[in-house]
Structure 1
Amino acid sequence: MTDGLYIHIPFCHQICHYCDFNKVFFENQPVDGYLDALGEELQMMNEEGIFGEGPLTIFIGGGTPTALSVRQLEKLFGSIERSVPKGRLVEFSTEANPDELTPDKLASLKERGVGRLSIGVQSFDEGLLRRLGRTHGPGDAERVIRDARDAGFENLSIDLMYGLPGQTGAQWEDTLDRALALGLPHYSAYSLIVEPKTVFYNLMNKNLLPLPGEDAEADMFRMLMDRMESAGLRQYEISNFSKEGFQSAHNKLYWQNRTYAGAGAGAHGYVNGERYSNHGPLKKYMNAVAEGRRPVFETHRVTAGEEMEEEMFLGLRMIDGVSGAAFRKRFGRDIRDVYGNQISRLENQGLLEEEEGCVRLTEKGVFLGNEVFAQFIG
Structure 2
Amino acid sequence: MVTAAYVHIPFCEHICHYCDFNKVFLKNQPVDEYIEALLEEMRRTMKYTPASGLRTVYIGGGTPTALSAEQLNTLLKGMKEALPLYDVEEYTIEVNPDSIEEEKLEVLKANRINRLSIGVQTFNESLLKEIGRTHTKSSVEDAIRRSRQAGFTNISLDLMFGLPSQQPAHFTETIKEAINLDIEHISAYSLKVEEKTVFYNRQRQGKLTLPPEEDEVMMYQQLLHRTKEAGLIQYEISNFAKRGYESKHNLVYWNNEEYYGFGAGAHGYVNGVRHQNHGPIPKYLKAIEQGELPTFQTHQVSAIERIEEAMFMGLRKREGVNIAQFEKRYGQSLLNIFANEIDHLKQRGLVRSRDGAIQLTEEGLLLGNEVFEQFIAVLEDL
Is 2:48 the partner of 1:48?
Answer: yes
Structure 2 letter corresponding to 1:206: Q
The answer for the alignment partner of 2:270 in structure 1 is 271
Whole-angstrom distance in 2 between the partners of 1:311 and 1:177? 34
Q: Secondary structure at the match of 2:91?
A: strand
The answer for the alignment partner of 1:180 in structure 2 is 179
Q: Secondary structure at the match of 1:158?
A: strand
Q: How many residues matched?
A: 377
Q: Secondary structure at the match of 2:97?
A: coil
Does structure 2 conserve the Cα–Cα contact (< 8 Å) formed by 1:3 and 1:55?
yes
Q: Secondary structure at the match of 1:293?
A: coil
Q: Secondary structure at the match of 2:107?
A: helix
The answer for the alignment partner of 1:32 in structure 2 is 32
Structure 1 letter corresponding to 2:34: Y
The answer for the alignment partner of 1:59 in structure 2 is 58
Q: Secondary structure at the match of 2:8?
A: strand
Q: Secondary structure at the match of 2:257?
A: coil
Whole-angstrom distance in 2 between the partners of 1:258 and 1:238? 18
The answer for the alignment partner of 1:161 in structure 2 is 160
Whole-angstrom distance in 2 between the partners of 1:70 and 1:321? 41
In the TM superposition, 1:218-367 aligns within 5 A as: 218-367=217-366
Structure 2 letter corresponding to 1:10: P
Shift of 1:87: 3.6
Whole-angstrom distance in 1 between the partners of 2:87 and 2:369? 34
The answer for the alignment partner of 1:14 in structure 2 is 14
Whole-angstrom distance in 1 between the partners of 2:198 and 2:8? 22
Does structure 2 conserve the Cα–Cα contact (< 8 Å) formed by 1:42 and 1:263?
yes
TM-score by length of 2: 0.98
Structure 1 stretches of 4+ moved >2 Å: none
Does structure 2 conserve the Cα–Cα contact (< 8 Å) formed by 1:42 and 1:79?
no
Structure 2 letter corresponding to 1:7: V
The answer for the alignment partner of 1:137 in structure 2 is 136
Does structure 2 conserve the Cα–Cα contact (< 8 Å) formed by 1:53 and 1:88?
no
Larger displacement relative to structure 2 (172-181 or 353-362) = 172-181
Q: Secondary structure at the match of 1:43?
A: helix
CA deviations 1:120-139 (Å, max 9, x no partner) are 00110111001110110110
Unaligned runs of 5+ in 1: none
Whole-angstrom distance in 2 between the partners of 1:36 and 1:183? 37
Structure 1 letter corresponding to 2:150: A
Shift of 1:89: 1.4
Whole-angstrom distance in 2 between the partners of 1:88 and 1:213? 47
CA deviations 1:155-199 (Å, max 9, x no partner) are 000001111100112211221121111011110111111101100
Larger displacement relative to structure 2 (73-82 or 304-313) = 73-82
The answer for the alignment partner of 1:93 in structure 2 is 92
Structure 1 letter corresponding to 2:251: K
Shift of 1:82: 0.9
Does structure 2 conserve the Cα–Cα contact (< 8 Å) formed by 1:255 and 1:317?
yes
Shift of 1:43: 0.7
Is 2:203 the partner of 1:209?
Answer: no
Structure 1 letter corresponding to 2:67: L
Whole-angstrom distance in 2 between the partners of 1:187 and 1:356? 26
Q: Secondary structure at the match of 1:270?
A: strand
Q: Secondary structure at the match of 2:338?
A: helix
Structure 1 letter corresponding to 2:48: E
Shift of 1:270: 0.4
Give the root-mean-square deviation of aligned CA atoms.
0.8
Q: Secondary structure at the match of 1:207?
A: coil
The answer for the alignment partner of 2:103 in structure 1 is 104
Shift of 1:338: 1.1
